[in-house]
Amino acid sequence: MPAECKIRMSFLLAVAACFAPCRALAQEENLPAVSTATAQSASVPGAPVAVPPLPGAVPADEQSASSVPAAAVAASTVTMNVNFEPAQDRDPMRSPQDFADDEYERNKVKHEEEKRRKAALAAAQAANPVPLDPKQQAKLVIKSIKLQGIVGDQAIINDKMHSIGEVINGAKITKITPEGVSFTYKSFTFTKKMAEF
C-alpha cells in the first residue's frame, strides 16, 4: 500500500474516532447521529457533506421573508448617529518637530527681527559698556576662577598651573595652601577652597 494511502486511511480513522463521542451524545439526547460514512465522505475532496437538521428547526425552503413582521424588525433595530469631533485637527502622522518647524516658518519674520534686535543690543552694549561697581566686578572675577587642584606650591586654575604672584583675570595669587588658594582683586581678598569646584 503506498504511503499516501496509509496517511489517508489513518486520517479517516482519526476523523471517525472524533465522531464516536458525538454519536454517543446524540443517542443520549435522541438526536440523529452522524454516521461514519458521512465523516468519511467529508474527508474526500469534492464529496457532499450530509448534515442532519436540528430538532424543531424550520427547513430553509419553508422559511420566507414574510414570516417575520417588518414592524418587529424595525423595533429590534436601533439606529444611532455618532458624530465624532476630534479635540484637535492635528495630523497624527506628523512628529512634534514637524509642528515646531511649521510654527517657526509661520513666525520666521518675527524670529529674524528678534535675532536682529538682540544682535544690535549686544553690539551697543559692547560699544558702550555699562561700568559695574567694584563689588560686582569682584564677584564676576571670583566666578571666573576655577580651582581644580593643588600640587605642592602650585595650583591648577582654569586648566593651567599657577604659582604665587601670578595674575588670573585680574586677581593676584597671594597664598597657596593644601586647603585652598587666596587671591586679591583690587581691595577685595577671597579664598577658593578645594571643596569649591
Is 153:161 a contact under the CB 8 Å cutoff? no
86 Rama class: left (phi>0) / alpha (psi -120 to 50) / beta: beta
Residue 80 is assigned to a structural domain of this protein: no
pTM score of the predicted model: 0.35
CA dihedral 93, 97, 103, 107 (to 10 degrees): -150
Are 120 and 155 in the same domain?
A: no
Are 120 and 148 in the same domain?
A: no
Is 183:189 a contact under the CB 8 Å cutoff? yes
Domain count, the chain: 3
Is 155:173 a contact under the CB 8 Å cutoff? yes
Strand-pair partners of 30: none
Residue 26 is assigned to a structural domain of this protein: yes
Residue 66 is assigned to a structural domain of this protein: no
Whole-angstrom CA distances from 134 to 115, 141, 142 are 32, 10, 12
Residue 149 is assigned to a structural domain of this protein: yes
Are 154 and 188 in the same domain?
A: yes
Q: What is the pLDDT along the chain (197 residues), one digit of tens a residue?
A: 566 656 666 666 666 666 666 565 556 555 554 444 444 444 555 555 555 555 555 555 555 544 555 555 555 566 677 777 877 777 788 888 998 888 888 888 888 999 999 999 888 888 877 677 888 888 888 889 999 899 989 999 998 999 999 999 889 999 999 899 999 998 889 999 886 54
Residue type, 58: V
Residue 175 is assigned to a structural domain of this protein: yes
pLDDT given for residue 42 in this prediction: 47
Are 143 and 117 in the same domain?
A: no
Residue 64 is assigned to a structural domain of this protein: no
Helix (H) or strand (E) holding 158: none
CA dihedral 65, 66, 71, 76 (to 10 degrees): -40
Are 120 and 163 in the same domain?
A: no
Residue 16 is assigned to a structural domain of this protein: yes
Are 143 and 189 in the same domain?
A: yes
Are 152 and 175 in the same domain?
A: yes
Residue 31 is assigned to a structural domain of this protein: yes
| Domain housing 112 | 96-125
Q: Which residue in the block uniquely carries the three cell numbers 465624532?
A: 84
Question: Distance (Å, rounded) from C-alpha 170 to C-alpha 113?
Answer: 38
Question: Distance (Å, rounded) from C-alpha 25 to C-alpha 123?
Answer: 98
pLDDT given for residue 51 in this prediction: 53
pLDDT given for residue 38 in this prediction: 46
Are 108 and 144 in the same domain?
A: no
CA dihedral 52, 54, 59, 65 (to 10 degrees): -140
